[in-house]
Structure 1
Amino acid sequence: MLNTPIKIGALLLKLTKNIGYFFLSIPDRIYKLIKKFPKLKIRKFRTPKFLKKIRNVPTHILSHTGKVFKNIRLFILGFAASLLLIFIPYVVQSWFKELPNPEMLTVAQKYGPTQILDRNGVLLYEIYSDKKYEPVKLDRISEDAVNATIAVEDSLFYIHRGLRPDSIIRAFRKTFVDGEKQGGSTITQQLVKNVLLTPERTFSRKLKEAVLSLMVEATYSKQQILEMYLNNIAYGGNAWGIQSAAQKYFAKNAWELNLAESAMLAGLPSSPSLYSPLNDMGVAKERQKYVLDRMVSLGYINSDEANAALEQELNIVPQKDFIGAPHFVNYVRKVLEDMYGSNFVNRGGLRVTTTLDYGLQQKAEAIVFDEVQKGGKYGFSNGAAVVLDVKNAEILTYVGSYDYFAPGWGAFDVVTSYRQPGSSIKPVTYSLALADTYTPATIIKDSPVVYKFEGSEPYRPVNYDGKYHGNVTLRAALANSYNIPAVKVAKAVGPDNIVSLGKDMGLTNWKVDGSYGLSVTLGGKEVRLIDLANVYTTLARKGSYAELSPIISIRDGRGYEIYSKKQVYPRQVISEEVSYLMWSILSDSQARLPAFGTRNFLTVEGKQIAAKTGTTDLIKDNWTFGFTPSYTVGVWVGNNDNKPMNKYMASGLTGAAPIWNRIMSEVLAGKTNEVFDMPLGVFVKKEEGCNRSEVFIKGSNVPKSLCPATERAEKAD
């Protein structure tokens, strides 16, 4: 057993000794070369005195000294050689460690694009980074497409083991001798280059490509390699893989491709832009003929089949990427990226089921588009709308603008942009008041008032009609959207408290920092449409707030569920009793008669709905919100450039209200009328003398009489 390492050691010693002798002979060789050419300039480096001194040294001393130095030099060189023998395997091992694992091929081809679906499984959009990719099994790919690919790319695919020396030599000769660019890669090499390596042109990368190709051939069967190749190769634009290419060029699946189509696609990977039928059909047909000729020469088809395929007219159908509910898709994409990061969203092959009802979405989009087209005479050019599911806190429709594809501003999402809400914010103020000492019957004096604050101009609120209405009940003030009573109530309850409640009800950008004045109750602080709609949803949910969810479930590329919408556990922010009073007021069509008349867009026949409008002072924003126990609809109209609308035409009944009415009618079509159940803490007081009734929270200040305010002694400033 000991003889083996001794023999190896002797062999290594002999090897290092030979290496040492080689290096030792170099100075002698140089000296002989110098003597051979004495006339060269290098002659000046000769030192006759030194040589003479050496010659005068006794031979036995020189012999002994030479042996010592010789042994030292042999030792040093041998030691260096030993280190080299140890170091070389380490370098090789490190180089191999840097190689990608061939098993990454299965991971790379496993996951397609992230799909965003509506609640019923309707595809809304596919998310991918720079590659549209949809893998298919080999047995689901047209046989003609498979044969055409092998014929033109690698005719000896089933014979070689990853590399073809003849192709490499031919490519080398064409490139470096003839000056022409010529590929010499096998299908396996192309797969490795496209999936596992970078596209850099270096000797190191080519070496890695060759080694990895051999490793891939040793790891996978030919069928697996071919399947991975056909699913990962580029066919032009963002189409990666035969399935994406079939859909991009012919609007069909990979298994539906005929011979002519297969030959056309098989010719693309070597130069997708040059041979693309979308760029130059003449060049594309020449390439198709070349592929068909290759198939004939290899026996895949006969000449008649090739000629028939060549003469066949190709129905090229360039496909645009479909996107349904585009603003909503972008909203969901941002939510996904916040959850998982953009890399995982782009490449993870997720299947995202959203809350959107695409059927209802299409109807809402059509309504918004139609009404905005009529908006010229009112001075608005854009609109947006949302429909929310109250009980499940879900987004059912999401229309971010009247036309996503309109040039310039169409893609801008109004649903999540900040706009002034006008009077549509008043329910927050009145909810706070009703939770305090106010009742729907509380008298508020609608008369001129001036508020003076140190360091600022006096604040004089006015009503939208420029009139004063005297003593009005809180019900009448809110139902008719009178401004002066709303400001007086805001002064009584405090702007900071209004902001605090607004935040609790769903206004995500509101912060209690003492910077808000009384104008907050008239829409002085910007909000988002989606958030304000959720405020009304909080009222519809009996005073309970819940964060909106656009997603029901998410499955990863393997089909495992990685996210499921949790059961809604809303947080009570105002009492059920206050919510009921608000619903009672906002659904009272009789109470709003003075401002809105009998014929208005805030009612849907056969349905009891709470509704509120809002318009900003300069008529830049116009809103309508409404809710039932199950649904909330919110609508905005205006101009993206903040240009004011027609001040004579844009009111709460002409801008957003018609859109709101049509969408709410679609939402409630075929559904029974829903009303809110009266909480135990609420009771009804009737006044027989003037045939009036009102709802009150038990324990609140109930007036002695409900007769018209002008006949009552109770007044309030």
Structure 2
Amino acid sequence: MSILSSAVKFLALPLAATNYRKNLRRTLVALGIDGILAVGLLVGAMLLTVLPSLPSFDVVTDYRPKIPLRIYTDDGALLGEFGDEHRDFTPIKDIPPVLKDALLAIEDSRFYDHSGVDYRGVLRALVADLTGGFRQGASTITMQVARTFFLSQEKTIKRKLTEVVLAYRIESALSKDQILELYMNQIYLGQRTHGFASAARTYFQKRLPDLTLAEAAMLAGIPQNPAKRNPAVNPLRAKARQQLVLKRMLQLGMITQAQFTEAVGQPLKISNTLRFEAHADHVAEMVRQRVYAQYKGDTYTQGFNVYTTLNKAEQNAAYDSLRRNVLAYDQRHGYRGPEGFVDLPDNADDRDEAIDRILAKHPSSDNLISAVVTEVSAKRVLAEPASGDTIEIKGDGLRFAARSLQPNAKMDIRIRVGSVIRVSQDSKGRWAIGQMPEVDAAFVALNAEDGSYRALVGGFDFSRNQFNHVTNAWRQPGSSIKPFVYSAALEKGYSPATLLNDAPLSLPGGEGGQTWEPRNDDGFDGPMSLRQALARSKNVIAVRLLQAISPQYARDYLQRFGFDAAKHPANLTLTLGSGSVTPLQMAGAYAAFANGGFPVAPQLIRKITDARGNVLWEAPPPPPRDDTQRVIDERNAFIMDSMLREVTRSGTGAQASQRLGRSDLAGKTGTTSDAFDGWFAGYSGNVVAVAWMGHDQPKSLGNREFGATLALPIWIDYMRQALAGKPPTERKAPPGVSLVDGDWVYDEFKGDDGVKALDVEESPLKSIFDTLRKAFGS
């Protein structure tokens, strides 16, 4: 066997093939060739096969990293990211010295002195292989760049020599800073994260300039083994590696003893998920779908930045409000018992594995953390979450689940060792037992002038349910549809002062040939004005009003607001909300009352830029408005606004004005039959918002639940943020309306006592008005 042929075969051989290495070594000795000469001959032979197969070099000289799609609020807060690699390209000048020092100390302390290859290290590695194993890597930063961009991780000598040759080429083509820049932006650092800027955000939720010495040292320790050294997966190994980095920095004089001591002792808060500055998973998915429809595969690699119209503070307020009020509803309706159960083995390792396995099936939901109970009594519960810590729950933290801690509790709700429970922590660090709610909710807020989204929360937990209830949930609106019927009636000559009788009503068309008798939640009160009837959400008066103007007229009229006529019945139940709407539709419809009668088209994306910040697309400015664009008369919008303000002053939405301390709030509650859905739709100034709560598979939310208890609290908590610092708004009466006996009426109808006389005589309400005339002597 010739030396050359043996070397060529040896190039492609995995380094674990020790028998072949022994045979090759015996061959060299038999030929009288040993030691350094043998290594030199082998290297020379190997280079003959390496040089012709070198890959194209422009991948580093024209570096184009795969940068994910990123989605931001209008004020620059990151709310979503999509791509196979989490990466932020950061120029070398913007990488802090402490991170560069930490990396070079542990990976390549002579980086700025050598020419790309540590000769002594490479020689040791080759000799070690020939004498029994590849135990030393000897890779410089430059060689790691070569490997990362061009080569596999396979441990063969051919790959190692190719790495050396490429390192020389890289050093001749790029400056040291350029090489380090490539490395620090391209290297894999665990958790789908590439580059140190992205790793800082993933593990610490920080920008690079904000890293401490302790954090920089921990990140610098990851490249050696990202799978085992990343702090989210193995904090103990990451900590040990961090200390090694700090010791090396101390030895090289990069830090002082005092800095070393402080950094070693600094507790680090590690995140195991990619966190964003605004909670908007449903929005991020909406944007992703739109961008992908335009850019296809480039969506996830070209570094597109999408700026939405959302406001960070308002979006987070909406998210927090929705979750807080859904959990409040859930607490009102009692504890349902643990989510699951696992038998805990006696062996500690087996026990930990069992806990990890069951908790993987019950992922945490933001502040609702899943944990396995390890000790339980009526006065104290110990539980272990996925982090491995032990959580103690006692006192008030047990109150919600107290019934399940009793020895005589039914097995399906009893909390025992091995139970999977939910816990949450308050601002003072106290733990409490909670549960994942079964109910869901949605919230959307628009700018009533231009339709731009201010906030959108499509559901309680995106990871549990990706369905976007704002845009896709067709639900019965209940009484929140009534204002549009009242708006239609204004065009027929009615006014807020028109009196109708709140008295029992029997109509044909009920089930099984029976009569239909609509009811109110609060009984009957006799004659009252339409203003009072809307404020108190009187069902019977709404039915009488729709009967007077005709269901077909109202159904056609709904289309002015963007509703789909096909989804609403052409009968009297329309006014009680038996049709179907989405929360987004409802927000757009109420915007017409808020802005004086104009339609709005919801707008989510403000602009799209490429990775360098060049604008690829930008939303055009809204066109100027004129009266021809109105969907309802300006007078109609003004009068309806005054009636909707009454709802929040004295009606079913009164807690809005009470809790926010404002007089410029307008809106309407909605509760469907058997409380399957709870709504509140309303606005103030140019902010229009809609909240909804219900079950995906419709069922009753409880006989004591209404739109005012379910949805209105969500709306109020959001509006507190949206209206902060904004003065109350008042609306001037437009031409063509007059105050008659203290209420508004169109000028052409002001002699009709609120209702056109001809319409009264021929309407189905004739008998009612005959009674009223007798009662009031008119």
Normalised by the length of structure 1, the TM-score is 0.68
Q: Does 1:331 align with 2:283?
A: yes
| Contact 2:664/2:729 (8 A) holds in 1 | yes
| Contact 1:441/1:473 (8 A) holds in 2 | yes
Q: Does 1:268 align with 2:222?
A: yes
The amino acid that maps onto 2:639 is L
- Alpha-carbon spacing, 1:580–1:391, altered in 2? closer, same or farther (3 Å): same
- Tell me which of 595, 598, 602 is aligned to 1:544: 598
Q: Matched residues in 1 for 2:633 and 2:224: separation?
A: 69
SS in 1 for 2:675: coil
| Contact 1:577/1:697 (8 A) holds in 2 | yes
- Tell me which of 714, 736, 750 is aligned to 1:681: 736
Match of 1:465 in 2: 521
The amino acid that maps onto 1:696 is V
- Alpha-carbon spacing, 1:261–1:513, altered in 2? closer, same or farther (3 Å): closer
Q: Matched residues in 2 for 1:513 and 1:368: separation?
A: 27
Map residues 269-668 of structure 1 onto 2, 5 A cutoff.
Answer: 269-276=223-230, 283-284=237-238, 287=241, 300-301=252-253, 312-313=264-265, 315-319=267-271, 320-326=273-279, 328-340=280-292, 341=295, 346-363=300-317, 368=322, 371-372=325-326, 374-375=328-329, 379=333, 384-400=442-458, 404=461, 414-416=469-471, 417-436=473-492, 438-440=494-496, 447-452=504-509, 460=516, 462-465=518-521, 474-487=530-543, 489-490=545-546, 498=554, 501-507=557-563, 510=564, 512=566, 518-569=572-623, 571-588=629-646, 601=656, 605=661, 607-639=663-695, 642-647=698-703, 649-661=704-716, 663-664=718-719, 667-668=722-723
Match of 1:712 in 2: 773
SS in 2 for 1:274: helix
The amino acid that maps onto 2:286 is K
Map residues 118-157 of structure 1 onto 2, 5 A cutoff.
Answer: 118-119=74-75, 121=76, 123-143=77-97, 145-146=99-100, 149-150=103-104, 153=107
Q: Matched residues in 2 for 1:669 and 1:257: separation?
A: 34
Unaligned runs of 5+ in 2: 1-50, 334-436, 758-767
Unaligned runs of 5+ in 1: 1-91, 687-691
The one-character-per-residue Cα deviations of 1:529-564 (angstroms, maximum 9, x if unpaired) are 232122111111111111123444444321223344
| Contact 2:80/2:281 (8 A) holds in 1 | no
CA shift, 1:527, in A, is 2.2
Match of 1:695 in 2: 744
CA shift, 1:168, in A, is 7.1
Match of 2:70 in 1: 114
SS in 2 for 1:675: coil
The amino acid that maps onto 1:548 is P
The amino acid that maps onto 1:695 is W
Q: Percent identity?
A: 29
Q: Matched residues in 2 for 1:673 and 1:257: separation?
A: 44
| Contact 1:171/1:181 (8 A) holds in 2 | yes
- Alpha-carbon spacing, 1:459–1:238, altered in 2? closer, same or farther (3 Å): farther
- Once structures 1 and 2 are overlaid, which stretch shifts more, 241-250 or 555-564? 241-250
CA shift, 1:196, in A, is 6.3
Q: Matched residues in 1 for 2:711 and 2:210: separation?
A: 48
CA shift, 1:492, in A, is 6.3
Q: Matched residues in 2 for 1:676 and 1:372: separation?
A: 34
Q: Matched residues in 1 for 2:571 and 2:608: separation?
A: 44
Match of 2:186 in 1: 232
Q: Matched residues in 2 for 1:288 and 1:596: separation?
A: 60
- Once structures 1 and 2 are overlaid, which stretch shifts more, 246-255 or 352-361? 246-255
| Contact 2:477/2:670 (8 A) holds in 1 | yes
| Contact 1:118/1:124 (8 A) holds in 2 | no
RMSD: 4.9
The amino acid that maps onto 1:483 is N
Normalised by the length of structure 2, the TM-score is 0.63
The one-character-per-residue Cα deviations of 1:189-233 (angstroms, maximum 9, x if unpaired) are 533553567879999999997887666445432321111111211
CA shift, 1:257, in A, is 6.3
Aligned length: 600
| Contact 1:112/1:135 (8 A) holds in 2 | no
Q: Matched residues in 2 for 1:100 and 1:286: separation?
A: 37
CA shift, 1:481, in A, is 2.6
The one-character-per-residue Cα deviations of 1:104-140 (angstroms, maximum 9, x if unpaired) are 753317x576252353x4x243514243323333244
Q: Matched residues in 2 for 1:602 and 1:461: separation?
A: 33
Q: Matched residues in 1 for 2:632 and 2:148: separation?
A: 59
| Contact 2:534/2:647 (8 A) holds in 1 | no
CA shift, 1:358, in A, is 3.5
Larger Rg: 1
- Once structures 1 and 2 are overlaid, which stretch shifts more, 414-423 or 142-151? 142-151
The one-character-per-residue Cα deviations of 1:259-313 (angstroms, maximum 9, x if unpaired) are 77655544421312233455556655665677678879xx944999799579943
CA shift, 1:316, in A, is 3.1
| Contact 1:449/1:460 (8 A) holds in 2 | yes
